[in-house]
Amino acid sequence: MADIFNELTAAEAAQRIVDGVLTSEKLVTACLDRIEKREKVVGAWVSFDPDKALAEARQRDGEPSRGPLHGIPIGIKDIIETADLPTQFGSPIYENYQPVADAACVALLRTAGAVVLGKTVTTEFATYTPGKTVNPHSPAHTPGGSSSGSAAAVADFMVPLALGTQTAQSVIRPASYCGTVGYKSTCGEFALSGVRILGQSLDSLGVFARSVADCQLVRSALVNAKPKPPSQRRPPRIGLFRTPQWDDADPDSQRAVEAAGEAIKKAGGTVDDVPMRDPFNNLIDLHNHVMCFEVARSLAYEYETHRDRLSERLQGIIKAGLAVSYENYCQALLQRNRCRQMLSDLFINFDALIAPSAQGEAPRGLESTGNPLFGRIWSLLQMPCINLPGHTGRNGLPVGVQVIGAFGQDDRLIAVADWLEKRIA
């Protein structure tokens, strides 16, 4: 029976631990057994210490509950610092680098009772050069990036929860490709102290999970709030936002979004198309300019002192960023602010928007992590997003639907997404 504990949602496992019918040690053991069985295929982890994780689980079993994640194992993306495990940022420059302290988010999760199972694979400095991870549904396909290890570990039942980060689409895209729930918070919602920053106006902390309720548990720990189940009392009002990139989505992704809209209507919700507006048409380019500008500054040391140990693609991004003028950068942020205000007005009439999570199924091949096209707008606008799995494409691989909330309204988004989760899959 132990082999099924690792398939529980975090919320289910947490409740069983509270009820005394499951121990953290049994849960962690089941996860470690799954890792031993599948890690050689999936390659989701860059470092972990089974003995330490089990010791931490036994400690949780022998003490009063610390909080909503008491005894629940979690994976940590390897650009997030941990005091007891190396943090290598997906780069040979920092091989075996050992931080002296946990990132704020890791410390808060431990305070809430979580057990850090290990560090998950990231791309190079959370950019585009892939790590070793494959898609657990089909090893010939990418898991997405940059939070590849976190998405694959949760999808393959190695761990119920994992942290990721998003600068372009590094939570939503791998969640869609791997078939997990993925929650990207509003930019600035969670403390990023101890997280390697790539774009200071773009980066958001994210969560990979098996249910929307699991994301709420993690959120409650990170904001130090009393956990409460997501609650959407009435059928929501949803805007179907095809985005200016709709024609770039393949039929699988388009069908998933449209089918979700029909399911919402059948369940009593309302769905209306959101018209395109001119200011949104060039947000993809603006995101790219902002991202390149900020990456060039955040990786200035590595570019100047270890340039030969950076991939050619990352060097190209930095060079492009150095060519973006400060004036153009500021103009891009001003347009970002105008568009966000327009969307803020839109959310007076809608509880959330739905849009493609990705172009379609995970592409075949491991040389690329896929195209972040359908996340760039929302990352630039700093808005919270959730990937809801449940659809499949022509090859039987997962295809997600993205749910977008108003800026700073993460709890409202989670409540709506929880309602949708039960009805659109």
Which tokens sit at 7?
Answer: 């398939």
Q: How many CB atoms lie within 10 A of CB 394?
A: 12
Q: Residues near 112 by Cβ (< 8 Å), separated by ≥ 6? A: 66, 67, 68, 69, 70, 220, 221
146: annotated active-site residue = yes
DSSP 188: T
* Distance set, CA 57 to CA 37, 81, 83, 155, 212 (Å): 21, 20, 17, 22, 24
Distance, CA of 365 to CA of 12 (rounded, Å): 35
Q: Which of 236, 200, 225, 229 is nearest to 214 (CA)?
A: 229
| Pure H helices in 308-366 | 312-322, 326-346
Active-site entry in 170, 185, 201, 220: 170
Which tokens sit at 8?
Answer: 């529980």
Distance, CA of 243 to CA of 259 (rounded, Å): 17
311: annotated active-site residue = no
- Say what the alpha-carbon torsion angle 331, 342, 413, 419 is, to the nearest 10 degrees: -140
Distance, CA of 189 to CA of 202 (rounded, Å): 12
Active-site entry in 146, 204, 253, 298: 146
357: annotated active-site residue = no
Dihedral class, residue 96 (left if φ above 0, else alpha if ψ from -120 to 50, else beta): left
At 271, the amino acid letter reads: V
- The answer to whether the beta carbons of residues 107 and 191 sit under 8 Å apart is no
Q: Which residue is it, tokens 């805007």? A: 239
- Relative orientation angle of helices 373-380 and 283-298, to the nearest 10 degrees: 70
Residue 399 is inside which H or E element, if any?
strand 398-404
DSSP letter for each residue of 218-268 = HHHHHTT---------SPPEEEE---TTGGGS-HHHHHHHHHHHHHHHHTT
**Catalytically active residues, by annotation:** 77, 146, 170
